[in-house]
A = this chain, B = another copy of it.
Amino acid sequence: MRDDTLNRIARIVERRLARVFDEAQAGSATGLFPGASRSPVMDQVRDLTMRSGKRVRAALLVCGAGLFDAEAERDPAVIAAAAAMELLHTYFLIHDDIMDDDPTRRGGLSAHAALAAGLGDEKLGRDLAILAGDLAVALHEGLLAGLAAPDQRRRLAARIFADMHLDVVHGQTMDLLNTGDAEEVARRKTASYTTVGPLAAGAALAGASEADVEELADIARPLGVAFQLRDDLLGVFGDPEVTGKPVGTDLRAGKATFLIREGLGRGDAGQRAAIEEVFGDAEAGVEAVRAAASALAESGARGACEERIDQLVEAALRDLARRCYLPEGRLFLEHIAGMVRRWPE
């Protein structure tokens, strides 16, 4: 039943996104900057944005609003902000994929890989992908500029969007520079815009006070870490057909995720050796990655990661039950929180 809600919201947000692209391609909204804007870059941003099916962040934004307003799903400002959330996500993904030299995304080519292939020029592909990310963030800015919400609500939501944007950029900076611990990096580059930002921005648009928004953020943070851990698990054990990503990227990139740190801490000498064999080796073969994955499972690291996800979700659900939220919104949030136990993200 809740999956119906999720699908319905995804389709509403996708219709809004399609309108954003149609309008941007046709030309400037204010009419001050004449000329259409159709280009391979625009096509790429549209294609990448539209080919995701889950829309967790958009759903969580609508859900955050639904905790305070039973009509949230029919509020154009909430839907526009949810679409802006998806465009912010597109922008982060495109720029991240350039930095990680990641050739695939959402079951297809990443933006820079697709543009490079289309134009037969790697450097041009990368440069245009920088612009593709910039285009996505500009479209998100356009949606936020037009939000038809009472001024005070709009202002708080816009400040949350800007704060979230800064936090993610800083988290990605920490990741590239290898500063800060893995938890802080995960919190800043993932939790902040997967759960905290969307829920908080939605609540703000539905009229939640700053104090309400802070309470909701306290529920959202453990959920965000759970999403990150699920992502780490899927990066090693997931089905590439479902996740849209190849297996072993974190291992090959030498990214010390919670899962991998647990494996190195819990494993016996042989298991540790299997993990270290591929850790940080960009050229590691499929067999070696498979052996490292087995070692991660057999060492108990996989189980520990699943257990931690359960604990985080339980903590969020406990907190959620204590609050006086609207029942429909609360049930929907419980549903999404439950999904992280089994979901590809």
Contacts and interface: CB of A to CB of B under 8 A. Distances in A.
A158 B135 CA distance: 16
A141 B162 contact: yes
Contacts of A210: 30
Contacts of A162: 29, 138, 141-142, 144-145
A189 B165 CA distance: 24
- Chain A interface size range: 35 or more
A166 B134 CA distance: 8
B28 A169 contact: no
Which of A130, A142, A164: most chain B CB closer than 10 A?
A130
Contacts of A128: 173, 176-177
Contact of A144 (B146, B158, B196): B158
Contacts of A33: 163-164, 166-167, 188, 192, 196-197
Contact of A160 (B30, B41, B156, B167): B30
A103 to B, nearest CB: 16
Contacts of A154: 151
Interface string A187-220: 0100010001100100000000010011001000
Interface in A120-149: 124, 127-128, 130-131, 133-135, 137-139, 141-142, 144-146
A179 to B, nearest CB: 8
Contact of A30 (B35, B39, B98, B163): B163
Contact of A135 (B41, B42, B131, B166): B166
Contacts of A139: 166
Contacts of A29: 159, 162-163
A101 to B, nearest CB: 9
Contacts of A142: 159, 162-163, 165-166
Which of A30, A31, A142: most chain B CB closer than 10 A?
A30
Interface string A91-119: 00001001100000000000000000000
Nearest to A160: B30
Contacts of A98: 127, 130
B184 A159 contact: no
A40 interface: yes
Interface in A23-75: 24, 28-33, 35, 37, 39-42
Given A37-B170, A138-B165, A141-B141, 19 more contacts: A29-B162, A30-B160, A30-B210, A30-B213, A32-B213, A32-B217, A39-B179, A98-B127, A131-B172, A131-B176, A133-B134, A134-B137, A137-B137, A138-B166, A138-B169, A141-B162, A142-B165, A145-B162, A151-B151
